[in-house]
Amino acid sequence: MAARKEFQRAVREYRTAAGLANAARDAAPAFAPELPDRQRRIITRLAQAATVITPGWLGRALTRATDPPPLGGASGTDPLAVRIGECEAGPDHRFPVVVNLLGTGHLCVDADADDPRALSIVQSVPLRLLAARPADSFRVSLADLSGHGVFADFTAIETAGLTGPVAVDATGLDRILAETESHIASARRRHVSDLPERLVVLSGLHRADPRVVARLTAFAAAAVSARLHLVVAGWRGGTLPATTHVSMKGPQVSVAGVPLPVVVDGVPDPEVVRGVCADLADQHGWLIGDPP
């Protein structure tokens, strides 16, 4: 997609411009203003491109302050990116921080759900994708070992069968991992485009058996070609292939190792989460219900 390439190109240009601006301020403060002007122009391009690649639920604020867009408005086959926050490059100069996910890779956060920033990501990412994608185009598995009830407000879609039971212990997690292995095996036996994409969202990984980390590492290596995508909070392993790593050490947030001033969006409004899940459940029930 042209907008996606433009966003990635503008990010690279912004990083270069930011580095040049810092060097100019150190070497010759009187000549620095031109570079911030260049940064502002790039920020405008970034904001425009991010809006194009995260339309509707993929990029909207998850609060009650705005009218919700229709469900299922995104393509069922194109790669999708999602918003996780904003880069605040200066007063009145910011752009959305978006990460590539479905069709592209994985997302790992080193903090866990007791950090509101990590909680925001593990709640908002599956909610955005469920609301944006047609219900039959991908499957979602949710696991929460954190003990914080991360997915308590997702009950309606679990009851409707849009997700399996939320795993809250080692037994439930093992079930999801076994289903994931089965999905990868099916992808190897069949034409992969025949399979719906699968999203596995895991919170509380720091409580899991170390062998779970090894299995997830193996999944990540084979997963994108098998239409499998991981979103993990509490990741303590190494760098995974095809993965956007988000680091939350102290007050600073780093996305994909880029040293930009990122502010993660607030935790989604529980009323919005419950409302979206209820609407998804109703829609699913209508689609599979008996004809009149």
Q: What is the dihedral of CA 203, 107, 175, 76, to 10 degrees?
A: 120
16 located within any domain: no
275 located within any domain: yes
pLDDT at 113 (0 to 100): 93
pLDDT by residue, tens only, the chain of 292 residues: 565 665 566 555 545 544 434 433 443 444 445 557 777 788 888 888 888 889 999 999 898 766 778 888 887 778 899 999 998 877 777 889 999 999 889 999 999 999 999 999 999 999 999 999 987 788 999 999 998 999 999 999 999 999 999 999 999 999 999 999 999 988 888 776 777 889 999 999 877 788 999 999 999 988 778 889 999 999 988 899 999 999 998 888 989 888 778 999 999 999 999 999 999 999 877 644 444 3
Amino acid sitting at position 54: T
pLDDT at 292 (0 to 100): 38
β 243-247/93-100 pair status? unpaired
214 located within any domain: yes
pLDDT at 32 (0 to 100): 47
pLDDT at 123 (0 to 100): 98
For the entire predicted model, the pTM comes to 0.86
Domain residues for the domain of 235 are 98-288
Q: What is the DSSP letter of 218?
A: H
1 located within any domain: no
31 located within any domain: no
Strands (E), 149-279: 197-203, 228-233, 243-247, 254-255, 262-264
65 located within any domain: no
110 located within any domain: yes
Dist. CA 159–CA 165, nearest whole Å? 8
83 located within any domain: no
CATH number of the CATH domain containing 170: 3.40.50.300
| Tokens, residue 117 | 């920033």
Give per-residue burial for 96-131: e unless 16+ CB within 10 Å, then b. Answer: bbbbbbbbebbbbbbbbbebebbbbbbbbbbbbbbb
Query: Greatest CA separation found in the chain?
Result: 76
| Number of domains the chain contains | 1
